[in-house]
Amino acid sequence: MNASVRILAITACCLFSGYSMAEPTHPECIAPASPGGSFDLTCTLVQKALSHEKLLTTPMRITYMPGGVGAVAYNAVVAQRPAEGGTLVTWSSGSLLNLAQGKFGRFDENAVRWLAAVVTSYGAIAVKNDSPYQNLDDLVQALKKDPSKVAIGSSGTVGGQDWMQAALIAKAAGISPRDLRYVALEGGGEIATALLGGHIQVGSTDISDSMPHIQSGEMRLLAVFADERLSDPEMKDIPTAKEQGYDIVWPVVRGFYMGPKVSDEDYAWWKAAFDWLLASRAFAEMRSQSEFFPFAMTGSELDTYVKQQVADYKTLAVEFGLINHR
């Protein structure tokens, strides 16, 4: 299907919803972390897909706004750039977990317009290729012996998504999560750099962040937090935590939100564009090449999903003593 037909399809979708067609100007994707992690990968994936499908006449640029594992970008868009119809910001399940704990400051999950969820991945525990830990139980035994001897790098601080993954391992093994030795880093790119540089011994991370380093032979994964082994040929040999006796599953959904004052017309255009992308074969191929897995949700359905996830994460945060009961 040629580009003009694609544009007509999106136009028709917008008109059917009661909005006139207006391609957003100055398209931008903000990755709220340093380059190299999954936020960056998510922006790059959609940038390439929009270009491939010729849905934008102006190329989308990618900018980086690290800080607070998404908090800086969230606050900047809500307070300073609330009506920019061409600006998308990436979010992940970790963003929702931080929102649940009030880590984004005065703004909560109701402060933005949730646009689309486009992929999912899974949490993972990574080590350098020459690490003495050969499996998850090796790591657990080392933590039981002396948790202060094992530096675990994670994106963000205590209570973040990567922290939660390690805390769930600690809980399952009878170790207090508070006794673990954490090194707070900004995104998956920094975790990989610290791990390969020998500054940490373990990375609590995301499988998508890790795969380039797995493929190069620099890193190994002790476990992936999926229900069962992943079908991807390059991931099928990575053991799950569950098969090693630790009943931990942690999917990581990723997507985009927009500022709270973005016009309904601009929002409808982007929703229609994502509905098109998420149903296309080309996007499915690109998603697989980026080591991500299918997850497609837009508009009001996504808004409901996000609010429920935040509520569930609040319950988990209370359980770990991260926040008081709400």
Domains and CATH numbers, the chain: 3-121+251-319 (3.40.190.150), 122-244 (3.40.190.10)
Query: By mean pLDDT, which of 166-170, 184-188, 227-231, 305-309 is the weakest?
Result: 184-188
| Mean pLDDT across 14-19 | 51
**Out of 89-98, 116-125, 175-184, 234-243, which region has the weakest mean confidence (pLDDT)?**
175-184
CB contact at 8 A, 115 and 268: no
Count Cβ atoms below 10 Å from residue 118 Cβ, excluding itself. Answer: 25
| Residue 17 pLDDT | 53
**Average predicted confidence (pLDDT) for the chain:** 90
Of 215, 217, 220, 218, nearest to 205 by C-alpha is 220
The whole-model pTM stands at 0.81
**Calpha distance 83→68 (Å, rounded):** 23
Segment (H or E) for 305: helix 299-319
Q: What is the pLDDT of residues 146-165, one digit of tens each?
A: 999 999 998 777 888 889 99
As a dihedral over the C-alpha atoms of residue 249, residue 250, residue 255, residue 260, rounded to 10 degrees, the angle is 120
Q: How confident is the model at residue 324 (pLDDT cuts 50, 70, 90)?
A: confident
User: Which residues, listed in sequence order, are joined to residue 153 by a DSSP beta bridge?
Assistant: 183, 203
Q: Give the confidence band of 15 by pLDDT, cuts at 50, 70, 90.
A: very low
Q: How far is 41 from 64, CA to CA, in rounded Å?
A: 12
User: How sure is the predictor about 10, in pLDDT bands with cuts at 50, 70 and 90?
Assistant: low
The pLDDT confidence band at residue 234, using thresholds 50, 70 and 90, is confident
Task: Tell the burial category of 148 from Cβ atoms under 10 Å away from its Cβ (0-12, 13-18, 19+).
Answer: exposed
Round to whole Å and give the CA distance between 79 and 313.
Answer: 25
Residue 169, pLDDT score: 86
User: Mind listing the pLDDT tens digit for each residue in 56-66?
Assistant: 989 999 999 99
